[in-house]
Structure formats: structure tokens, C-alpha cells
Amino acid sequence: MCAHARKPGYAGCVAEQTKSQIAADAWGSLLRVHADLVPKMDAALKAATELPLAWYDILLELYGAEDRALTMGDLADRVVLSRTRVSRLVDEIARAGLVTKRTHPDDERSTYAVLTDEGVRRFREAAPVYLAAIDHHVASPLSKSELEQLRALLERLAAHDRR
């Protein structure tokens, strides 16, 4: 670390950082927070409900979907995983009885993942644990206005990338 730098970061050691260098540091911070929090959230869910975070993410999306069903492609887009990874996870979750797979009535090449009654029960059991972990790891260190600003900034970044 250079004597004049405030902290080490992705952009390196410079006296006055450019916008690009600050963006690189912000990106690095986002990656570090994600890498730190995902295992903690996963551990909290597993300890309390025996559901891995990846399963919970799928149950969450199915729970909020119309008829509690999504095509595998739509599900993959919503949980930001590859279709192959989602397919494997849905197979695991189906073996546990939390979802079923159903062929699309108009396109036999497409398959739906459908939340079962047991999947609804397990999701509802896990939701308070998940929300408590978010509260502990995200809400507690920040003020309400900081959380609103963080949400707005992240939503703006997400919208920019959708163009």
C-alpha cells in the first residue's frame, strides 16, 4: 500500500483516482461483499432449515410466480444461474419433493418447474430465516437512508445493463 493511498483496491495505488479507478474499487467491494455474505446466508439457512441458499432462491422465484410455476429458462434468468445448473438444482429439489417437473402443454421441448405443497411449506419456514439474515448482514450496519440509496444505485446499475 502506498503512503498516500487511503486503502488498497482494484485500481491500485494512486494519489487521485479517476472515475474508472473508483468504479473498479466499487466493483471489487461489491464482489467482496457478495463473496462474504453468500456463504453466511447459506449457512444460516442450512442450520435452521436444511435448505441451501441456491434451493431457497429457486423456491422463492417459484413461490412468487403465477401458478407457482416457471419454465426452466425463465427460472434460470430469475436466479441468475445457467440453465444447466438450474436443471440440476431442480432435479435435486424434485427428489426432495419440493418441486415437480411438468412438460409445457404447447411445447414438449420446454419444461416447467412447479412448487409442491411441501415446497410451499418449506419456503414459508425458511423465509423468516432468510429475512433475518438479510436484516443482520445488510440492514443492521446501514441506516434506512443508506439502504434506500444502495437500493437505488444498484437498481440503476441493473437497469443500465438491461439496455
pLDDT at 158 > cutoff 60: yes
Read off the C-alpha cell for 122. Answer: 418449506
Distance between CA atoms of 121 and 63, rounded to whole angstroms? 10
Domains of the chain (ranges; CATH) run 52-161 (1.10.10.10)
Dump pLDDT digits (tens) for 111-124.
999 999 999 999 99
Dump pLDDT digits (tens) for 69-81.
999 989 999 997 8
22 Cβ contact partners less than 8 Å away, ≥ 6 residues apart:
11
pLDDT at 109 > cutoff 90: no
119 exposed, middle or buried (CB, 10 Å; 0-12, 13-18, 19+)? buried
Prediction pTM value: 0.82
Contact between 78 and 61 under an 8 Å Cβ cutoff? The reply is: yes
Distance between CA atoms of 21 and 13, rounded to whole angstroms? 10
Contact between 114 and 97 under an 8 Å Cβ cutoff? The reply is: no
pLDDT at 1 > cutoff 50: no
Dump pLDDT digits (tens) for 9-37.
555 555 688 999 999 999 999 999 999 99
